[in-house]
Structure formats: C-alpha cells, structure tokens
Structure 1
Amino acid sequence: MKTVCGIDLGTQSCKVVVYDYEQKRVVQKASAPLELIARNDGSREQEADWYDNALRQCFNQISPENRASIVALGVSGQQHGFVPLDGEGKPLYQVKLWCDTSTAKECEELTAAAGGEAALLKETGLLMLPGYTAPKIYWLKKHKPELYAKLRHVLLPHDYLNFLLTGNYVAEYGDASGTALFDVRNRRWSEKICALIDPHLIEYLPPLIESHAMAGTVSAEAAKKYGIPEGALVASGGGDNMMGAIGTGTVEDGFLTMSLGTSGTLYGYSDSPVVDPEGNLAAFCSSTGGWLPLLCTMNCTVASEEFRQLFGMNVREFDTVAAAAPIGAEGVVVLPFFNGERTPNLPNGRASLLGLTQANFRRENIARATLESAIFGMRIGLESFKKLQFKAREIRLIGGGAKSPLWRSIVANVMGLPVRVPESDEAAAMGAAIQALWCLERSAGLSTTIKDLCAAHVRVDGGLTVEPDPAQVQAYNEAYGQYSKYLAALAPLYR
C-alpha cells in the first residue's frame, strides 16, 4: 500500500490524515490539541514549539505500518500567522495568529505610509488589516526591537511545518498572498510594502514555489523525530482555506466553499485576480495556480460557544433550543464580535445583544439569533461576490457547523443557494493530501491537473444536500436587513 499524508495545522488542533490514493480511502486519522494565549489587548498567540509537539503526537498515533506507507505529504496551515526565526531557524517570539487584533495601530501607520487604502489595493490587492502578517512583523519591530534585530526568516505556520519536515525555507503563492506583503496580480513579493517596514525585510522572506512543486523531502532528522520515511516528498502545501478549496473541489468557477469554525470563511475559485474595491473580499491566490477571493470573519462559532457555555448546554441542546424560535428570533439580534472583527473591519469590536423586549427575552431567541448572526456575516461576502459578477451555483459546507441540520438550513436560506456537505469531514487535511498526490505525479513527469484529482478523490454526491425554501429565504432577507441596521449604527464605535 502507498499513501499520501495530509497535515492540517489549525488554531485549536493539528490533524493528520493518511490516504490510500489507489483504493481512495482514508486508512487512519489522528489529532492533537493546541492551546491559545489570549490577552485583553487583542493578542492571540501560540508557541511555535507547540506545533512540533502536536505533529509528533499525531504521528505517534498513526500505526508504524501506515507511517511507512507514506510516499508524499502536504501541509495545510492556519493563514497569516507570523513565525519569526533567527538565522539558525529558532523561534524568536510567540506566533501571532490570524485572529490577533493587537496590531490595529500598526495597520493605520502602514496604510498611511503606503499612501492610503486605494494605494494598497493598487499595489497588493489587499487592505492592511490586523489579521494579516505584515502588521505583525511591524509590531515585533516596534515593541520587541532586540528580538527583531535577530530576525532572519519570516515563515507562515504551514511554511514552518514544511521547514520542520525538510529543513528548507520556502513559501507558496496561495498562503503568501495572505501576508499583505504580496502583489496578488503579479504573484510576487511587494518590495514597496516590505520596505515600509524594513528595507531588509524582503531578504527575510522565503523564495516562492509553484503549488505543484516540492518544498523538499523529509530529512533524516524529521524521519527520526516523526517516524516517517526519510526522502518522502513534501508538497508546497498552503493555507487552510486554499487546502479546503482543494478538499471540497472548489477549483473551478461557480462553486463557493463556506467553512464554519472559530473563523468563518467563504471563498470561490477564479481564473483571474478578483480585487474587491470595498475590501470585504480578500484577493488571495489559490494553491492551484489561480485566485481565491475570500471573506473571513473572526467570530463564526465563537458567539454560539460562549452563549452555549453560559446556558450550560451541549451543542445538541443549544441547537434544539435555537430551533424552537422563529426565523429572525422575534427581533433579537446578536453582533458576535467577541474577538474584534475583520469583515467588517472592526478591530475594536465588542459583542452585543440587541432588540430585547420583555416579550422576546427568551433563551430560544438568543440562541437562534446567535446562530443567525454568524451566517449574516457570511452574507456580506456573498453580496460582494455578486457585485463582482461572480455567479455562484452552490455552497459546499465544511467545518464543525456543517454537522448541524439547523446550521445547514440557515446557510441555505440566508444565502439563497443549495448547500452540499462533502463526505469527508477533514477538507483541509484531505486537500493537503490531494495536493501532495498532485505534486507526486507532476514530479514523476505526469501532466495531471488538480481538477482531475479533485474529480477523482473529492466526494460530494454521497453527502448531504439542502435546497433553499423561498418562504424562508424571504424571512431571512428581512432579518438580515434588521441585522444590517444595527451593524451600521454600532460600527463607528468599534473602528
């Protein structure tokens, strides 16, 4: 048996999937938890050593026989995290994550230095937002100058795992495009934006490789540490959203993938760059050679988890209570910005419970409004896709929220599109495994395309499908209008 291995380094856990590509079946899965450092200033950080330990824990759970069968590996990683390394590849500071909003001031300064938002969109295709990597680097320079002086390598989380596996410093276009240091139209690092932070920064960025290229092969050190075959191919890998796109078959126009996790994302494939003048959609590159316009919210399942714990309920109980309330929750509205927010850009955002009266102040309405608020945030992205003439045919739903019948119904009817749930519940890890197979076949001289591989290995026909109901779509349009009014009124307080 020969297998490919997909690794998904998320915010809450690291996961490994071993996939038999000849028999088209997952032979084993493993996971290890990750902790989070949270501070009141908006900091959200992790230790780079935790990633190494989590990867070791995962491979220790995989049987020796299955580990020995691995011929290629692909890595999916949470986007935008800043892993600062010295000249010997040692971490200098904690990894500031995608959900870190402590860099709002740095974003303002870099935006002004670049000549404003229009200038940024022209140069890179992205606004300078707290979630991205560039302001994190500037933050380290300003607040930890003694550590910044030792900086020699800037890596993203998935790049760092590739480094641990191969010893090579490389980057791939999809994940690199989420740094705000990258020219998405011309697919290269932006010397202009790098120079705003440090004239030497461009030297610390890794060389870029194509999505089907090798990051390297498993080193002797990594083989001994993780118990995997030395010399196994390591693919370029990519950001978790880019790998999720592969794992759901979103590699051609017309499909949207929505991920319901700690963050919420909505993205679709495009053959050409898609730059949103309003900045709601990030103009990322895909990890398949094209582009991946994407909306990201920082508070998707965060609010439902907070209210669920407050009410002392498990997930199923919370869903049952929410389902007992009508669409629109009798006027109760939740703005779920527990972590600040990226879309809309409200780095100082706070969660709010609105529209309460003595008549509607019930757990059922609060629970329902909490779930609806997460998808209303996604609706902002759908409106932007429509303005940019992207014609969506269906949504492929992944993440923890995809397991809930109520979530699936809310998505279909808020978005007004059919919802399909792929059979695999590990889309990012599977996407990384499929990309590893792509890299393996291309390195063997084959002309295999990523569309061919997704058609062969991504299964959506056997998954769940939910069609929108016209009456519910209309009811949600009205509820979304109410949500939008509250958002417009309170947004100036949170910018």
Structure 2
Amino acid sequence: MPSLLGIDCGLTVTKAVVFDVSGRQLSVARRRIPQLMPKPHHVERDMHVLWQGTAEAIKEAIAASGRPASDIAAVAATAHGDGLYLLDQDKKPLGAGILSLDSRTAEIIAEWNSNGVAERALELTGQMPTPPAYSSLLAWIKRHDPERFACIGHVLSCKDYLRFCLTGQVATDRTEASVSFTDVKTQKYSDEALALFGLTNLRNALPPVFECAQVAGQVTAEAATLTGLVAGTPVAAGLHDVTASALGMGGHKPGTVAIVAGTYSINQVVSDHPVTGAGWLCRNAVTPGLWNSMAISPASSANYDWFLDTLAKHERDAAGASIHEIVSREIEAALAKPSSVLFHPYLFGSPFGPDASAAFFGLRGWHDRGTMLRAVLEGVIFNHRLHIDDLRGAFSFAEARLTGGPTRNPLFNQLFADILQMPVTVTETDEAASWGAALCAGAAVGLYPSPLADPRDLAAISRVFQPDPARAADVNARYALFLDMAAAMQPFWQRLEALS
C-alpha cells in the first residue's frame, strides 16, 4: 500500500510524518531547530541547520514507519507562514532565515499605517502589512542592509526552502504566494503591489506559483542520500501551515471557523469570494476561487508552555505523573471558585501592536499556581475570541474546529467552548498540518481527487464540546474586563517597552 510523507516545520521544531493513504499515522520524527536572537526583535534560524535537522527527521520517520522508502508515493511540506528565507543568485542561503516571530519592522509598519500604504495594501492585496510579511521584511532589508538586498536572487518561505533542498527547484504555492504581493481579486502576482512597497526590482526574485496539489519537483540524488527517500519521488508544492492545519482537521471549508492554538492564535474561515477587513488577512485558499481569511496574532498556547517552563520546571521530570496532569487538577480546582485574576497573553506578540506585553492583573498573595494557570488559559482563549468576534461580523459559521498541543486536555477544549459560546469540535489528529501537507502530496499523484477529499471518517474521530450556559455570564464579564484593560494599557505599553 502506498504511503505519504508530510513535513511540518514550525517555529521551534521540524517534523516528518509518514501516513498510509487512509490517513493513519505510521510514524513521526522531530528535531528541534535553535532560534537565533542576535538583537532585540530579531528572531532567526540558520538555514543549513534547518535543512540538516529536517533531513534527519525524514530519515528517522521512514525507518520508524516499518515500510521501505519506495512505498512513499509523494512528499509535501508545510511550514510556518510569513518570515523570509532568501537565496542569492547562485541559489545559496543569503544570511539567516527570518521567523514569523520577528518584529524588527515596527517602524516601517508605523510609517505605512500613517502614510496610506497600509490602507491601499488592504484594498489591493486583501491584508494590512504585518511585521513578518515579505513586504515589510524586504523593505527593512532594503533600508538597513542594502548590500544583502542587492544580492537577493530568490524570495522564499520556510516550506519553499525545504522543498528547494529536496528538489533543487525554486517554486511556491498559491497560499504562500499571497502573503504580500498578489491581487486579492485575481489571486495572482501584482506588479502594483510590488510598487506600493517600493520593491519593483524584486519581481524576478518571486518564485513561480504552483497549485498546492501539483508536483513541483522530484527528490534529487543528493537529497535522497541525506533523507533516505528514493531519488525521483514526486514532491508537491505544499501549502502555508495555517491552511494546512485547517485542511488536516477538516476545517478548510465554508461555514466553519478553524482554530489553531499554538505559538500563534490562528482563526480562519473559507469563503467563495474575497472579504477584506483590517482585522484579518484575506489570502488564497487551497483551490482557485476560494479565499482563506485568517485573524492571527502570536499570542496563544506558547504562553502556557512558558509558564510551565518557567514556574513549574522542577516538576517537569518528576516521576509518577506528567506536569500536565498535575496542573489540570489545579486548574480545575481554580475554575470551581471565583477569581479576580486575569492575564494578557502577550509574551511573544499581540493584536495590539509590537509594544504590548504580558501581565497578570488582580493577583493577590493568597492566589496559587492553579489560579494563575486558569488566568493564562483564559487569556489565551480570550485572545482567540477577540479574533473570532472580528470574523463573526463578516462571515457566517456554525461550527468551530480546534487543533493544537493543549487540545489533548479536555479541560482546555471545554474552556474554548465556554468562552467562544459555541460548540467546538476536536479531531483526533495529532499532526493536523502534516496530514494537510500529505493530502496535497496524495492528490498531486492521483491518490485523491483533490486535497479536499479527506479519506477519513471525521465524525468517527471527533469529539464535540458544548458550551456550559451556566458559565456564560461570568465568562462574558471576564472577557469584557480583559478587553477594557487592554484598551487602558495602550498608553503604558510603549512606556514599559522604552525601559528595555
């Protein structure tokens, strides 16, 4: 039976996952890729280290699958969206890759917001420029590192760089192409968009655009040696990880809001016509004639991970029970009683601009760790609700689908349903983004009629969490205060940032 390889490279870990054609996961291998922070607001990674780690993960996943590499019918990658991975004219890495956590472009974003560029970009491209978008990062390099800018040969995303390493071919897909430079109406590259950002001379550096489920190259002999794949194995174009996650959890369709609780708060809906607004990014969906509107910010479950890494580190390796089981009991106890504690989950970014920072409010000496963790989880989900409420004003959706690391905990999923005040469906797919990539790989070689033709019985592998009406009044009051405090903090966040 054929198998498929899906690669998913996030902001800290790159993964290789082997699936059979029914969607059953056969193996997974991971490698942590170090982040580089040479200056404040600069978040990067070594591109050679990234490829080496990914190649090792692929080789390990193939070995662990129990099947020969020759069974792999096709490969596709997905990876963190936005950021920047540059090649020079000789197709060699041009400096470090820039991650989507990078916020060096705040000054340029502020200029574009004040001089009308951002407003025109929303009209033309379907989105306001964001700090890690191609447009702002390339404009920053042009201004602050002109020698590097002059050497740019190819502008790639993370997953496009990995596919280049596998195949030697420079390309992108329709979802990644729409990060900055496509016309939202035609879904194709726009010379006007490049001119708007002062980047006209990079037109030839933009990669050719493939459909997500189209073969964009074959594994080279060199890549085969490093990864254990068979040379000549087809490699599909793949897709942006936000879209891949929605596809992998069965949420990439009209009428559904797909939610990813990871490093980023990701909330997305699909429509059959472009709908633009300042609160979301309207980009190309997996297939032509569909648009994916995503409301995002780097303010989700990474806050919970930070809390455990920082304030429960000594218990992480304790024998007998996992730290997640221990703190779940503490959070459940905290939810059973009133609490004045709220948390703004802006450790790594926010929807309120680059100066916003995280904080606990209402904390007293008698509060314990469980109360603080409850506030962290509520703050994370409140931030998701902020984005989803923006989308509710423009789109109609009756179903929410949720994925992300914390969704293994039913308590977290129930909190989502209570705070969003709508049913939330969690699909038992540990590696949703990798499966989304694998669907593209399978469709590219004819195993599926399209990447939307998921062969799994989604109803059989899903659980629906219904909101608790008894909690609605308390949740709404806490959420309203969460928003009011964010508004009140606006003049103070910049002053706090100035202290650093």
* Normalised TM-score (structure 2): 0.91
Work out whether residues 247 and 428 of structure 1, in 8 Å CA contact, stay in contact via their aligned partners in 2: yes
User: How far apart, in 1, do the equivalents of 2:49 and 2:338 lie?
Assistant: 41
Equivalent pairs, count = 480
Residue 340 (structure 1) shift: 2.7
Question: Equivalent residue for 1:301?
Answer: 301
Question: Equivalent residue for 1:83?
Answer: 85
Question: Equivalent residue for 2:236?
Answer: 235
User: How far apart, in 2, do the equivalents of 1:199 and 1:364 lie?
Assistant: 53
Q: Which 10-residue stretch deviates more, 325-334 or 147-156?
A: 325-334
Question: Equivalent residue for 1:368?
Answer: 374
1:399 counterpart (404, 414, 418):
404
User: How far apart, in 1, do the equivalents of 2:198 and 2:337 lie?
Assistant: 46
Work out whether residues 442 and 451 of structure 2, in 8 Å CA contact, stay in contact via their aligned partners in 1: no
User: How far apart, in 2, do the equivalents of 1:189 and 1:321 lie?
Assistant: 51
Question: Equivalent residue for 2:190?
Answer: 190
Question: Equivalent residue for 1:159?
Answer: 160
SS in structure 1 of the partner of residue 83 of structure 2? coil
Question: Equivalent residue for 2:497?
Answer: none
Residue 355 (structure 1) shift: 2.3
5+ residue gaps, structure 2: 316-322, 495-500
Alpha carbons of structure 1 residues 328 and 121: separation in structure 2 relative to 1, 3 Å: farther
User: How far apart, in 1, do the equivalents of 2:118 and 2:417 lie?
Assistant: 34
Q: Deviations over 1:231-271 (max 9, x none)?
A: 21111101111111211112321122211112121112222
User: Where do residues 345-494 of structure 1 align in structure 2 (5 Å cutoff)?
Assistant: 345-357=352-364, 361-388=367-394, 390-441=395-446, 448-451=449-452, 453-454=453-454, 456-457=455-456, 459-494=458-493
Amino acid at match of 2:48: D
Q: Which 10-residue stretch deviates more, 480-489 or 43-52?
A: 43-52
Work out whether residues 344 and 358 of structure 2, in 8 Å CA contact, stay in contact via their aligned partners in 1: yes
Amino acid at match of 1:138: A
Question: Equivalent residue for 1:338?
Answer: 347
Q: Which 10-residue stretch deviates more, 190-199 or 283-292?
A: 190-199
Amino acid at match of 1:322: I
Superposed CA RMSD: 2.1
Residue 25 (structure 1) shift: 2.5
Alpha carbons of structure 1 residues 377 and 327: separation in structure 2 relative to 1, 3 Å: farther
Question: Equivalent residue for 2:209?
Answer: 208
Q: Deviations over 1:361-403 (max 9, x none)?
A: 4333221111100000010121112110x22222221110111
Work out whether residues 301 and 406 of structure 2, in 8 Å CA contact, stay in contact via their aligned partners in 1: yes
User: How far apart, in 2, do the equivalents of 1:328 and 1:127 lie?
Assistant: 42
Residue 110 (structure 1) shift: 4.0
Percent identity of paired positions between Structure 1 and Structure 2:
28
Alpha carbons of structure 1 residues 2 and 422: separation in structure 2 relative to 1, 3 Å: same
Question: Equivalent residue for 2:7?
Answer: 7
5+ residue gaps, structure 1: none
Residue 216 (structure 1) shift: 1.6
Amino acid at match of 1:364: G
Alpha carbons of structure 1 residues 269 and 241: separation in structure 2 relative to 1, 3 Å: same
Residue 213 (structure 1) shift: 1.8
Residue 305 (structure 1) shift: 2.3
User: Where do residues 280-319 of structure 1 align in structure 2 (5 Å cutoff)?
Assistant: 280-289=279-288, 290-312=290-312, 313=315, 314-319=323-328
SS in structure 2 of the partner of residue 299 of structure 1? coil
* Normalised TM-score (structure 1): 0.92
User: How far apart, in 2, do the equivalents of 1:86 and 1:327 lie?
Assistant: 58
User: How far apart, in 1, do the equivalents of 2:391 and 2:457 lie?
Assistant: 24
SS in structure 2 of the partner of residue 4 of structure 1? strand
User: Where do residues 63-78 of structure 1 align in structure 2 (5 Å cutoff)?
Assistant: 63=63, 65-78=67-80
Residue 459 (structure 1) shift: 3.0
Residue 181 (structure 1) shift: 2.5
Alpha carbons of structure 1 residues 95 and 329: separation in structure 2 relative to 1, 3 Å: farther
